[in-house]
């Protein structure tokens, strides 16, 4: 059984206002080729297919086109992440063919997609869990009838609801394996922040009252018969393995595929990829296939003179973030840099030797507005205000106060 694990496509997302459609198209073309070249039995997308609950029409069209091409070659299993609307993503689920499964309903977490082997028997069980919101998923995951006298709701936390979902998965899997008489490999897909993962700037919030992290052990069933052979995670955008060891000491392969496209400058050194997972009997191997890069991301730093000296001209084809370090804010900084670097997306003036930002003070009702503005001017300019600048600030604040008072 060969499964491609991917996640966090975020179709419809932009990068500092720049359109990422061509990057998404390149990845989806690559995925279609990969599926054909590698004889892939199924593609599992572990959440965040779209960037938002109501995706733009162009993002819907990208998905429609990609699913058409993928399902002519393999099976596709999608589940919603925290950015998707489970209802909308799952809307057409009941009309789908056996080659496309959208697993959006919390009530069905204990029911796998069965990927058939070459002889038509069960080749792999894929439990694609949708993103489980602690508030919304508690009742559907309760054990037995819910009443005020006998509360049997899982804890209101990500660990609580994911744990409840995993006990359904474990019970179902153990029963199937007992009936099969052979160990059919199983994969669990989940969209969560699992302990030990490194974050980027582009994942928005899976957090409720600070209880957002799920210990990896929640995804590992203590009973080996009920245990998945691979856990395909979505949510974090950097590809990474998560260390997970069962009670009996067996390591359980668990990883984030990461997003196929970089969505923030904090990801400029990521190698974006998909995971090819091979499962047979109880053995698992995973390898990463790099995703195409349409335009790299890069941060350049220096004085405007330095940035325009020609030294960094090889950066002109990248999406750029520039950090300008001149002591005083240079004139026409953005226009001059944009002329040389047409894909400049983010610009910050951070003077070398500037005041440490940690010196900022809390503003209260009692703060003198002149001090507040002077602090801001000093912080933005990178040096403390001079007496002359302070006089200008004082004039401006007092003049504004006089006008307000005159109203
Ligand atoms: Mn995401």
Are residues 328 and 396 located together in one domain of the fold? no
Cα 232 to ligand 1 centroid, rounded to whole Å: 14
Q: Binning pLDDT at 50, 70 and 90, where does residue 49 land?
A: very high
Cα 64 to ligand 1 centroid, rounded to whole Å: 20
Q: Binning pLDDT at 50, 70 and 90, where does residue 150 land?
A: low
Per-residue pLDDT, 356 = 59
Are residues 90 and 166 located together in one domain of the fold? yes
Question: Is residue 194, in this structure, part of any structural domain at all?
Answer: yes
Assigned token pair, 175: 């029963």
Per-residue pLDDT, 98 = 80
Cα 355 to ligand 1 centroid, rounded to whole Å: 35
Question: Is residue 32, in this structure, part of any structural domain at all?
Answer: yes
Per-residue pLDDT, 262 = 96
Cα 259 to ligand 1 centroid, rounded to whole Å: 7
Question: Is residue 283, in this structure, part of any structural domain at all?
Answer: yes
Are residues 15 and 35 located together in one domain of the fold? yes
Share of the chain above pLDDT 70, in %: 91
Question: Is residue 332, in this structure, part of any structural domain at all?
Answer: yes
How many domains is the chain built from? 3
72 pLDDT above the threshold of 50: yes
Are residues 173 and 250 located together in one domain of the fold? yes
Last residue of a domain, one of 290, 313, 331: 290
Last residue of a domain, one of 290, 319, 339: 290
Question: Is residue 360, in this structure, part of any structural domain at all?
Answer: no
In the numeric block, the tokens 């206002």 are attached to 17
Cα 234 to ligand 1 centroid, rounded to whole Å: 7
Cα 236 to ligand 1 centroid, rounded to whole Å: 6
Cα 20 to ligand 1 centroid, rounded to whole Å: 15
CA distances to 39, 40, 172, 274, 322 from 75, in Å? 11, 9, 22, 16, 43
Residues bordering ligand 1, an ion, CB closer than 5 Å: 8, 48
Question: Is residue 358, in this structure, part of any structural domain at all?
Answer: no
Residue 317 domain boundaries:
297-349
Are residues 339 and 378 located together in one domain of the fold? no
Are residues 262 and 168 located together in one domain of the fold? yes
For the stretch 361-370, pLDDT in tens is: 778 888 888 8
Most confident of the following: 76-80, 89-93, 402-406: 76-80
Cα 243 to ligand 1 centroid, rounded to whole Å: 20
Question: Is residue 359, in this structure, part of any structural domain at all?
Answer: no
Cα 73 to ligand 1 centroid, rounded to whole Å: 26
Are residues 230 and 305 located together in one domain of the fold? no
Question: Is residue 356, in this structure, part of any structural domain at all?
Answer: no
Assigned token pair, 239: 């590809």
Per-residue pLDDT, 208 = 43
Residues 6+ apart with CB under 8 A from 397: 369, 370, 373
């Amino acid at each position: 059984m060969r499964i491609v694990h991917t996640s966090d496509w975020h179709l419809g997302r932009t990068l500092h206002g720049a359109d990422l459609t061509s990057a998404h198209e390149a990845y989806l073309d690559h995925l279609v080729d990969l599926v054909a070249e590698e004889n892939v039995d199924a593609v599992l997308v572990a959440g965040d297919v779209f960037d938002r609950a109501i995706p733009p029409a162009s993002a819907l069209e990208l998905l429609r086109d990609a699913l058409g091409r993928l399902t002519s070659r393999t099976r596709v299993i999608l589940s919603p992440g925290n950015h998707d609307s489970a209802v909308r993503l799952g809307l057409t689920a009941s009309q789908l063919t056996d080659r496309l499964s959208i697993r959006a309903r919390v009530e069905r977490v204990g029911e796998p997609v069965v990927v058939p082997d070459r002889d038509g028997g069960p080749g792999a069980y894929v439990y694609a869990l949708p993103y489980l919101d602690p508030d919304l998923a508690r009742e559907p995951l309760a054990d037995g009838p819910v009443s005020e006298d006998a509360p049997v709701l899982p804890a209101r936390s990500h660990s609580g609801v994911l744990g409840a979902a995993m006990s359904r998965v474990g019970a179902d899997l153990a029963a199937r394996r007992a009936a099969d008489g052979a160990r059919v490999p199983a994969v669990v897909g989940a969209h969560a922040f699992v302990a030990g993962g490194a974050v980027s700037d582009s994942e928005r919030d899976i957090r409720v009252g600070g209880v957002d992290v799920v210990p990896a052990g929640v995804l590992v069933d203590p009973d080996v018969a009920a245990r998945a052979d691979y856990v395909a995670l979505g949510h974090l955008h950097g590809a990474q393995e998560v260390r997970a060891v069962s009670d009996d000491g067996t390591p359980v392969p668990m990883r984030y595929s990461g997003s196929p496209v970089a969505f923030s400058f904090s990801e400029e050194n990521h190698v974006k990829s998909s995971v090819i997972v091979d499962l047979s009997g109880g053995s698992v191997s995973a390898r990463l296939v790099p995703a195409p890069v349409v335009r790299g991301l890069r941060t350049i730093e220096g004085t405007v003179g330095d940035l325009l000296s020609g030294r960094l001209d090889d950066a002109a084809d990248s999406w750029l973030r520039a950090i300008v370090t001149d002591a005083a804010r240079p004139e026409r900084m953005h226009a001059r840099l944009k002329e040389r670097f047409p894909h400049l997306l983010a610009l910050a003036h951070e003077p070398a030797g500037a005041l440490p930002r940690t010196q900022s003070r809390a503003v209260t009702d009692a703060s003198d507005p002149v001090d507040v503005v002077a602090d801001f001017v000093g912080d933005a300019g990178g040096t403390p205000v001079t007496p002359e600048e302070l006089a200008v600030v004082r004039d401006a604040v007092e003049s504004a106060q006089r006008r307000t008072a005159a109203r």
